[in-house]
Structure 1
């Protein structure tokens, strides 16, 4: 390899690193909650407009984002417990069981939301609770018909095998 090829490879490596840094910065969350360095509580930062049209979809977007952040944090905590060598076998087994349940619930929630959107619902939020109950919030103006309710319950039962389903309509 000559000097010219080395310079080209080094330049390409620098460009790849820069692209990675930019991608990380651009994909960071749009919502920031928590304390800032001065110790005061900061408010949520959102790049959404606050007009009526966006505020209706914001509920679903913010709820999904909050759920994903909470699940990621919980999964990371459980993973840390599982990997800790100072934890007893019983505690590791329990953490592993909870980790698996949360991962499966997250997967089921996503599949249920995608399936219901595919059936024509504008926006859907599904939450599977530890008690074995599913809560489905559907975006709509009118009350759901019996057919819609049955369809939602069938989707939840088919994917997550949960019979107790609570359905809400949110505008």
Structure 2
């Protein structure tokens, strides 16, 4: 296989993934929990912002992981593309696990609820707290995040 063929295959693979994502978005349900999507957005309150963020993150992960798995198992995909997809799959899987561990640690620290999202070079954490976070609380949260992720760029915010 020469470079031109590899480029064509990679381009077609990207188009297939994009078509799959688009098809998933177009075919998504119009109702969630018995309410229309617009109705759900209007009824969102401050108290369930973290739950909504977690649902959105988990839904996106539930769409992405099977796509990666399909590409990894496809015998028609170039070895380099499989390796890159496998690396993305492993990174995403590790991030999902670490997000859950961080959220559990924060709940163990006494926070009512929390949300953690790990990007490549940044971690975002929201904690449900009635009062502003103290410097000590912020440092504790950052230490928990750094221990699991080794990422030092941590954004921490309070949600009521």
Shorter-chain TM-score: what band? Answer: 0.7 to 0.9
Q: What is the correspondence of 1:96-107 to structure 2 with a 5 Å cutoff? A: 96-107=86-97
Please report how far the alpha carbon of residue 66 of structure 1 lies from its aligned counterpart in structure 2 after TM superposition. 1.4
The match for 1:92 among 78, 82, 86 is 82
Count how many residue pairs are aligned between Structure 1 and Structure 2: 127
Where 1:87 maps in the other structure, the secondary structure is coil
Aligned: 1:136 with 2:108: no
Q: CA RMSD in A?
A: 2.0
Displacement, 1:160? 1.6
Return the match for 2:60 from 47, 61, 70.
70
| Structure with larger Rg | 1
For CA contacts below 8 A with separation 6 or more, give which structure has more relative contact order.
2
Q: Partner of 1:167 in structure 2? A: 156
1:118-169 deviation line (CA, Å, top 9, x unaligned):
0011110000012x21110111232211100110011011122221111011
| Structure 2 unaligned blocks of 5 or more | 1-26, 31-35
- Give unpaired runs (5+ residues) of structure 1: 1-32, 37-41
Matching of residues 35-50 of structure 1 within 5 Å: 43=37
Quote the residue 1:34 is aligned against: 28
TM-score by length of 1: 0.68
Q: Residue in 2 aligned with 1:154?
A: 143
- Counterpart of 2:116 (choices 101, 105, 126) is 126
